[in-house]
Chains A and B, each alone.
Chain A
Amino acid sequence: MSELEIMVNGEPRKVPGPATAAGLLRHLGLDPRTVVVELNRKIVRRPQLNDTALADGDAVELVHFVGGG
């Protein structure tokens, strides 16, 4: 199985390919209901997570709500 090298939250990471945004969340043990995925500066809406393929060199941001004023 091929490996993809992508940036996740600013850190290089190897993930098993082929990968989707939903697959990445599963791989990292994150709940898609509370995490938002941004792929190369574009938000991936939740219904599209399964159909969004990741490619080598992609920049992914995974964000969620934390405390703030």
Chain B
Amino acid sequence: MKSVLPPYLSHMTTIHAERATDSPLTIGGRAFRSRLMVGTGKYRNNGDMVRAIEASGAEIVTVAVRRVDLDRSKDEGILYHLSPEQYFLLANTAGCYTADEAMRYARLSREAGFNEFVKLEVIGDRETLLPDTEGLLTAARELAREGFKVLAYTNDDLITALRLEDAGCAAVMPLASPIGSGLGLLNPYGIRTIKRRLSVPVIVDAGVGTASDACLTMEQGVDGILMNTALAEARDPVAMATAMRLAVEAGRQAFLAGRMPRREVAMPSTPNAGMLE
């Protein structure tokens, strides 16, 4: 694209103009601009949380349903800090260990919330927080039947992902690594394979620790990333949120751009022709 600005400012037009064309992320019939989704747990304070979420550019923000604390004089729910007009609130079923429990939380969330979307978690193990795939499939089938748009948190196993899609899930959310671990993308091949084989969106959920993890994850071609701890536990959550926003965009653009092939041997970038005798 020809720039109309003086040459020393030309980079300002090229940054926005020369992008690979991308379609919006569509989940359960709803289109979203941002491919980065963020959680709202574990922030040191609500001010940090609100500013970090803003900096991340996320539209989808996860929340959880819990008992109201009746002993505290003024217990503020998350809605006091995050406007449901500004963000798409996605309720999770974190902390649920059986299909029945997860379904109970999903139904309460639908009643508390503003949409029929639910991030379904059925946890199978307290140490690793890895999913109970059997319970997950049971709950996913039933909730999809009840009209929920289920986004299912799962592991990096293709077969489970395929079954979740068959169960009627609106999106499948394989982990990069265990929840809150920050270990990054442990199985790029597994994630790539799931993305290649599924028709519904694949959103990588959990395990991303820093910007390079997010970028590498998006380079696998997945549709988006959901993260929480990487922002909440960063020394500066707002700066990390900015880094993550840029990393997700960079990774997405790199994927769409199509990377060069990997070679085992060097190939000169400078022509040999014209070398002096």
> Which of A's residues lie within 8 Å of B, judged by CB?
8-11, 28, 30, 34-36, 38, 41, 43, 45-46, 61-69
Contacts and interface: CB of A to CB of B under 8 A. Distances in A.
Contacts of A46: 111
Given A67-B39, A67-B49, A69-B41, A61 B63 contact: no
B78 A62 contact: no
A64 B77 contact: yes
B51 to A, nearest CB: 14
A45 B111 contact: yes
B77 A34 contact: yes
A63 B66 contact: yes
9 tightest A-B CB contacts, nearest first: A68-B64, A69-B39, A69-B228, A67-B40, A64-B77, A65-B63, A36-B112, A67-B41, A9-B67
Contacts of A63: 65-68, 108, 112
Interface of B: 39-43, 49, 62-68, 70, 77-79, 89, 91-92, 94, 104, 107-109, 111-113, 179-180, 206, 226-229
A66 B94 contact: no
A36 B65 contact: yes
Contacts of A30: 68
Nearest to B66: A66
A53 to B, nearest CB: 19
A45 B107 CA distance: 11
A27 B181 CA distance: 42
B192 to A, nearest CB: 24
A24 to B, nearest CB: 11
Contacts of A41: 104
Contacts of A69: 39-42, 62, 92, 94, 179-180, 206, 226-229
A65 B41 contact: no
B41 A64 contact: no
Given A34-B79, A65-B113, 20 more contacts: A9-B68, A11-B70, A43-B111, A45-B111, A63-B68, A63-B108, A64-B68, A64-B77, A65-B63, A65-B78, A65-B79, A66-B66, A66-B77, A66-B78, A67-B41, A68-B94, A69-B39, A69-B42, A69-B226, A69-B228
